[in-house]
Amino acid sequence: GIQVEQSPPDLILQEGANSTLRCNFSDSVNNLQWFHQNPWGQLINLFYIPSGTKQNGRLSATTVATERYSLLYISSSQTTDSGVYFCAVGSSGTYKYIFGTGTRLKVLA
Amino acid sequence: DSGVTQTPKHLITATGQRVTLRCSPRSGDLSVYWYQQSLDQGLQFLIHYYNGEERAKGNILERFSAQQFPDLHSELNLSSLELGDSALYFCASNPVDTEAFFGQGTRLTVV
């Protein structure tokens, strides 16, 4: 099955700093999502981005499907950005999302 | 609010017991997915139903079973519970092959 790797596993930032999170996947995919899991455990949709680039406020994401990776950019980080960021991928006909192991982000005030 | 409803939010039960977790998908979505998130295993896919039929099965134990009813809600039944079954159980729904939305999860503690 598809393997999903995320890097870095852990990240500590000062408030206001920028960061880039990476998701590599081992096979072609039809679906790719980025999630933020907050300290209360909720999985919050950030982007549905099987290809291309999207932006939402301080967050943006880019997926290069032909090279099998996706990047999540966080600019001017805030303490509320803390939590775990997951990438999840799916391919047509598999009827499931495979999650990466996540990047644990801590933003210090 | 994702539109996916899971009940209960928290559940504490003893080893050997059986519990049922419930999920209502977003209005109009025919698919329901179940995931388990334990501390040492990350988010693991358990099972997927589409319009009442099982479509895919992941690492779901034989002690666990699920079904999707005609009104499209789904139930995950966990029996002969062990300490290691303590985890967050998530349900998700989506239209075919598009963005998935997750419920708030059920936190199961087995004591």
Of all residues in chain B, the percent with pLDDT exceeding 70 is 99
Q: Under an 8 A CB cutoff, do A41 and B105 touch?
A: yes
Asked if residue A47 has pLDDT above 90, the reply is yes
Asked if residue A9 has pLDDT above 80, the reply is yes
For chain A, the average pLDDT equals 95
**Alpha-carbon distance B42 to nearest alpha carbon in chain A (angstroms):** 6
Predicted confidence band at A92 (pLDDT cuts at 50, 70, 90)? Answer: confident
The token duo for B99 is 């963005």
- Taking the C-alpha atoms of residue A50 and residue A63, their distance in angstroms, rounded to an integer, is 6
Once rounded to an integer, what is the mean pLDDT over residues A68-74?
Answer: 98
> How many beta-carbon contacts under 8 Å exist across A and B?
50
Query: Which residues of chain A are within 8 Å of residue B35 when distances are taken between CB atoms?
Result: 99
Predicted local confidence at residue B39, as pLDDT: 82
- Taking the C-alpha atoms of residue A50 and residue A47, their distance in angstroms, rounded to an integer, is 9
In a mutational test of the A interface, the residue from B45, B50, B68, B96 whose CB has the highest number of chain A CBs within 10 Å is B45
Query: Which of the 8 DSSP states describes residue B26?
Result: P
Predicted confidence band at B42 (pLDDT cuts at 50, 70, 90)? Answer: confident
Predicted confidence band at B106 (pLDDT cuts at 50, 70, 90)? Answer: very high
- Taking the C-alpha atoms of residue A34 and residue A70, their distance in angstroms, rounded to an integer, is 9
Predicted confidence band at A36 (pLDDT cuts at 50, 70, 90)? Answer: very high
Predicted local confidence at residue A38, as pLDDT: 92
Once rounded to an integer, what is the mean pLDDT over residues B31-55?
Answer: 92
Q: Under an 8 A CB cutoff, do A86 and B43 touch?
A: yes
Once rounded to an integer, what is the mean pLDDT over residues A74-81?
Answer: 97
Q: Under an 8 A CB cutoff, do A48 and B98 touch?
A: yes
Query: Which residues of chain A are within 8 Å of residue B97 when distances are taken between CB atoms?
Result: 30-31, 90, 92
Predicted confidence band at A93 (pLDDT cuts at 50, 70, 90)? Answer: confident
- B25 interfaces chain A, CB cutoff of 8 Å: no
Binding-face residues of B in 36-95 toward A, CB within 8 A = 42-43, 45, 48, 50, 55-56, 58, 88, 90, 92
Predicted local confidence at residue B51, as pLDDT: 95
Q: Under an 8 A CB cutoff, do A41 and B107 touch?
A: yes
- Taking the C-alpha atoms of residue B79 and residue A1, their distance in angstroms, rounded to an integer, is 28
- B33 interfaces chain A, CB cutoff of 8 Å: yes
- Taking the C-alpha atoms of residue A71 and residue A23, their distance in angstroms, rounded to an integer, is 6
- Could you read off the pLDDT of B61-85 as tens digits, one per residue? 999 999 999 999 999 999 999 999 9
